[in-house]
Amino acid sequence: MEIELWWLLALPLFFGLGWAAARVDIRHLVSESKALPRSYFKGLNFLLNEQPDKAIDAFIEVVSVDPETIELHFALGNLFRRRGEIERAIRMHTSLVNRGDLNEEQRLHALYELGQDYLKSGLLDRAEEALTKLGGSSYGGRAQVFLLEIFQLEKDWEKAIAVAARIEAETGISKQKEIAQFHCEHAVSLMAQSRPGEARAQAEAALKANRKAVRAQIILGDIAAQAGRHEEAIEAWQKVESQDPAYLSLVAAKLVESYRQLGRLKECMTLLRGYLERYSSLDLLDLAFQLCLELEGVEPAYKLVRDELRRSPTLLGLDKLLEAQVMAAPPERQADLQLVKNLVHRHTHRVARYACENCGFKARQFFWRCPGCGGWETYPPKRAEEFDLTP
């Protein structure tokens, strides 16, 4: 392969141009660094050495010397917010919003940061006002996420539904689970205000948004039961099985009460036995055991628990088995059995908790929204011990 002569001549020329450009860039960088106050580099050094207090003091000195350092104002404001010094962050970002020499993009950025400051401080109305102004801008999408959080904190479910639908339309990320939960929250608040018709409409809207919304189906049953329509309530709660049978444990007690009102507890016992055989659950076992004791006596209740314990051996199941044994035992053995039962019960009381799949937060009560991370439907309706036994 022959190399043309002009290539050999061009190579030194390109090398010389590159060297000259590098020299210009280096000179420009040196001149810029000389223009920066010494406190700026001190602040950077403190940040690298994980000394944020001293870094903030150094940066404040820079800002006082050179008020034109816009990006440094933003950095300081964010540092204040992360450290919990919300008032200082608000002052910093408010001063930026009110400056007349900022371009539109910088002003929007300052408004976005200010909205986060207000949210962190609990000033939800001011946060909403600031973030709403960002609609249609380059910060609009990110502002919607914070607005959704604000409306959930304010329990303004209509606005939360509207914002979630807008986020879904703009991003393509499904928000149907959250929207269904917002409708359910609205339904619960309307039930508390004795407005069952409107509550029912919200529950139906939740099912329209997400046909697997178990909570909406439970609410429909609750509305019917409160009105004394127990047949309708039972029918609504039984539909939970086709949505997600794991949630049957949440409606089992409701079913027992409605069947009791109708005088059909034996039918309810048959239903619970069927559920227990198909979907093993500690909460179902507890209710079935208590109802069996009431209707059939100690021996059938003991057999029910024993058979379930053989299928799914758990400490909570053992606790129920010991309870049945104490009842059936002769008086001279009851004290010893009661001692064993008390030991087991104290331990099961500690492990009988629900656990969030997202953050691991544990609670004795079932939550539709985790108090730890704020996630919706992150609590499986099973005790933590049951998952330890799942293959």
For 296-354, what is each residue's pLDDT tens digit?
888 888 788 777 777 776 656 666 666 665 666 666 655 655 655 565 555 555 556 78
pLDDT at 305: 77
Residue ranges of alpha helices (H) inside 36-123 are 38-48, 52-65, 70-82, 86-97, 104-121
* Long-range CB pairs of 240-248, under 8 A, 24+ apart, other chains included: 240/214, 241/275, 243/211, 243/212, 243/213, 243/214, 243/217, 244/212, 244/214, 245/275, 245/278, 245/279, 246/279, 246/281, 246/380, 246/381, 246/382, 247/214, 247/218, 247/381, 248/275, 248/279, 248/281, 248/284
Domain boundaries, the chain: 264-352, 353-391
Kindly tell me if the per-residue pLDDT of 80 is higher than 70: yes
Greater pLDDT, 230 or 317: 230
SS3 362: strand
pLDDT of residue 309: 74
Band (pLDDT 50/70/90 cuts) for residue 280 is: confident
CA distance 76 to 329: 72
Query: How high is the pLDDT of residue 188?
Result: 96
Burial class (CB in 10 A: 0-12, 13-18, 19+), 1: exposed
CB 133, CB 139: distance < 8 Å: no
Mean pLDDT over all residues of the chain?
78
For residues 87-104, average pLDDT? 82
The pLDDT confidence band at residue 391, using thresholds 50, 70 and 90, is very low
pLDDT tens, residue by residue, 139-178: 898 999 999 999 999 999 999 999 999 999 988 889 999 9
pLDDT, tens only, 180-225: 999 999 999 999 999 999 999 999 999 999 999 999 999 999 999 9
Give yes or no for residue 377 having a pLDDT over 70.
yes
Please measure the distance between the N-terminal and C-terminal CA atoms of the chain and give it in whole angstroms: 68
How confident is the model over 48-75, as a mean pLDDT? 58
Q: Check residue 213 and give its pLDDT.
A: 94
pLDDT at 88: 82
pLDDT tier at 71, thresholds 50, 70, 90: confident
Global pTM reads: 0.74
In the chain, what percentage of residues exceed pLDDT 90?
Answer: 39
DSSP conformation class of 2: P
For 269, the 3-state DSSP assignment is helix
| Beta carbons of 257 and 292 less than 8 angstroms apart | no
384 Cβ contact list (under 8 Å, min separation 6): 351, 353, 354, 355, 362
Q: What does the pLDDT read at residue 27? A: 45
Of residues 285 and 146, more confidence is placed in 146
User: pLDDT tier at 45 (50, 70, 90 boundaries)?
Assistant: low
Per-residue pLDDT at 264: 95
**Is pLDDT larger for residue 358 or for residue 3?**
358
Q: How confident is the model at residue 37 (pLDDT cuts 50, 70, 90)?
A: low
Give Cα 256 distance to the centre of its chain. 31
Per-residue pLDDT at 98 exceeds 90: no
